Structures are given as C-alpha cells and as structure tokens.
Amino acid sequence: MTERLAIDLREVMIQCFIRAVQDNVNLVVLVSDSTSTAKITPFQQMYPDRLINVGIAEQNLVGVAAGLSLGGYVAVTANAACFLVARANEQVKNDVCYSDMNVKLVGLNAGVSYGPLASTHHAIDDISIMRGLGNIIILAPSDPVETERIFNFALRHVGPVYIRMDNAKFPVLHSKDYQFELGKVDVLTCGDDISIFAIGSVVHEAYAAAQTLKADSINAEVINVSSIRPVDKKAISDSIQKTKNVITVEEHSLHGGLASLICEIIAEEGLDARIVRLGITQGHFAKAGPRGRIRAFYEIDKNGILENARKLLKKG
C-alpha cells in the first residue's frame, strides 16, 4: 500500500469553522487560552471578531458559550477534553445540556493524546461522563474525512453536541464519498469471524489489525462507532449475532465508554457472544509515557488487538 498522507484532525476542524462562517452559520468559537491546542490561528486571522478567549477559566468558557447561544450564536468551545469535562462539568450539565443550548463542546487531545504529561492531562473518562448526562449528542471522528463530515453536521445541528478529538495526524480511512449519518455505525470492513468495535483514533489500529488477520484467513468486521449517542443498536447487534466474537477498542476507561455500551447491548438483547474489552483498566489512571507505549501496554494498538483476536478465536 502506498504511504497515505496524514492530516491533523484539528486542522480539518478549523477549515470546517471557516467554511461554516462562509456558509452563513453564525459561529463563534471560544477558547480558554487554548488557541494553540485548537490550532485556531487560521480561523482567528480570518475572523478575529468570532474568536473569544476567556483565559484559563473553563467554567466561564462553557457558561459564556451558553450565553452566546442564547444571544443567537452557534457557540463552539475548543479546549483540552480533560479540563472541559472535569473542571466545567456542572456548566456542561446545567448551562448546556439541561438548558438545551446551541453549544458544541469540542474535547481536544482526548484519551492519552498527552501521553507523558500524565493523568491530569489524560481524558479517559470523557465519554462515560458525557453518557451520564441527558440531552447531548456524543461523537468521535476517526480520520480527516469523518472529522469534516462530523463538524459539518454538528455546526448545523441545533442543540448540544460533544465531539471527542485527538491531537495527532491520521491518514484517510474513508472514501471521499463517505457520508456521516447520526445514529449509524460506520462499517469499515465486513467479516463473519469477529466484530471489532472501535472509536476515535484507535479505529486505525483496529483497521490495521484486521488487514493482518485477513492474511490468517480471519475475516474481521471493523465497526467504527463514531456516533456514540445516538447509537446504532441494531447494526451492532446484527454484527455480534453474526460473528459471536467481539473485541472493543478504546483509548478510554473500560467503565462507561465503548466497552460498556457494547456490553449493554449484548446483555439487553441476550446475545450469545464472547467479548474482550480493550481499553484503560477500570478503576485505574492510565500509565504515563510515550503514547505508543501506553497503547501497547493496554493492548489497544494493532499488535494488541491482533493477539487478542487470535486468542479469542482459538478458544472456539
């Protein structure tokens, strides 16, 4: 395979902001001293009046965004996920979700994007926290194409949306015809032997693992659950019924995120399946260090997924 061009998903996001304004979306972007985190400069240069920096004050970031939405703006907050979901949790809950404001919350550099900066900067609980709240859509793009589609959707949707973002460059996984559909899963490869569910940037690891498994004559179905709420229960359930072997992969705690979501569906539907959950051990903070090492430790990299898939299928 030829080397594919890798793009920082945040740069794609910023282009979506610019195009939205050009498209007459009454957008305002708020940062909390997180201009570099959000790579916002191109937007700032074009629309300085549409960027608001509240300083290092995350509670105020979210509250002010809610107020701007009351004033008729589509308000987008862009700061590190760890500070958004933890520090401003009550503002997210009350000012945005409960009050049903037209605010889009972007959790930048989620998961263990900040690897060596350790647990203050990791966000391995953002999905579980957001899933605990009412009235918010939860999305996680995996590649540049999906990032563009998801932001184009979110910036034109009225109501609260959380978007989980990564801080690295990723190649394109989707064709340029890919259409994001709210509440639908994205099946990247079809297969009968095992269902691999993944979210966000580890979708690339799952996809790479599936390519290698194919050489072993194992057909993996890789499903990108980019729409976490609403979720496509039927497609997930159909895949599990077909393969009866499941692996979930997430750069997130095993509690409350993708693994929990899939287990809920298996339990509710009474599906006959074996499941291996890969993610950050429940009840633990993640190890700190180079991101690749962290992923290898929790077996959420290509090799980890591969080994677990082989082990799981050998049991049968």
Measured CA to CA, the distance from residue 108 to residue 75 in angstroms comes to 16
CB nearer to another protein: pick between 17 and 170: 17
Q: Does 90 bind another protein (CB under 8 A)?
A: yes
Measured CA to CA, the distance from residue 261 to residue 132 in angstroms comes to 12
Q: Does 44 bind another protein (CB under 8 A)?
A: no
CB nearer to another protein: pick between 90 and 264: 90
Comparing C-alpha atoms, which of 174, 34, 157 is closest to residue 100? 157
Q: Which of 9, 16, 28, 127 binds another protein (CB under 8 A)?
A: 28
Q: Does 16 bind another protein (CB under 8 A)?
A: no
Task: Mark the segment that binds another protein (CB under 8 A) among 96-104, 109-117, 188-196, 285-293.
Answer: 96-104
- Do 194 and 218 form a contact (C-beta atoms < 8 A)? yes
CB nearer to another protein: pick between 97 and 220: 97
Task: Mark the segment that binds another protein (CB under 8 A) among 55-63, 142-150, 260-268, 284-292.
Answer: 55-63
Residue 66 Cβ vs another protein, minimum distance, rounded to whole Å: 5
Q: Does 69 bind another protein (CB under 8 A)?
A: yes
User: Residue 119 in 3-state DSSP?
Assistant: coil
Task: Extract the tokens encoding 235.
Answer: 């497609």
CA angle 132-133-134, nearest 5°? 125
Task: Mark the segment that binds another protein (CB under 8 A) among 92-100, 104-112, 267-275, 306-314.
Answer: 92-100
Residue 69 Cβ vs another protein, minimum distance, rounded to whole Å: 8
Measured CA to CA, the distance from residue 20 to residue 26 in angstroms comes to 8
Task: Extract the tokens encoding 194.
Answer: 């095992």
Measured CA to CA, the distance from residue 221 to residue 206 in angstroms comes to 10
Q: Does 279 bind another protein (CB under 8 A)?
A: no
Q: Does 54 bind another protein (CB under 8 A)?
A: yes
Q: Which of 15, 44, 60, 303 binds another protein (CB under 8 A)?
A: 60
Q: Does 33 bind another protein (CB under 8 A)?
A: no
How far does the chain reach from its first CA to its final CA, in angstroms? 32
Task: Mark the segment that binds another protein (CB under 8 A) among 68-76, 173-181, 259-267, 299-307.
Answer: 68-76
Q: Number of residues interacting with another protein: please give it, by CB under 8 A.
A: 28
> Does 144 sit behind a cis peptide bond, omega within 30 degrees of 0 on the bond before it?
no
E-strand ranges in the chain read 6-8, 27-31, 51-53, 74-80, 103-108, 137-139, 161-164, 169-171, 186-189, 194-198, 220-224, 227-229, 245-253, 274-280
Q: Does 49 bind another protein (CB under 8 A)?
A: yes
Q: Does 67 bind another protein (CB under 8 A)?
A: yes
Q: Does 89 bind another protein (CB under 8 A)?
A: no
Q: Which of 95, 125, 143, 186 binds another protein (CB under 8 A)?
A: 95
- CB count within 10 Å of CB 243 equals 20
Q: Give the H or E element holding residue 68.
A: helix 58-70
Q: Does 52 bind another protein (CB under 8 A)?
A: yes
Q: Does 71 bind another protein (CB under 8 A)?
A: yes
* Nearby residues of 72 by Cβ (< 8 Å), 6 or more positions away: 26
Residues near another protein (CB under 8 A) are 28, 49, 52, 54-55, 57, 59-60, 62-73, 75, 90-91, 94-95, 98-100
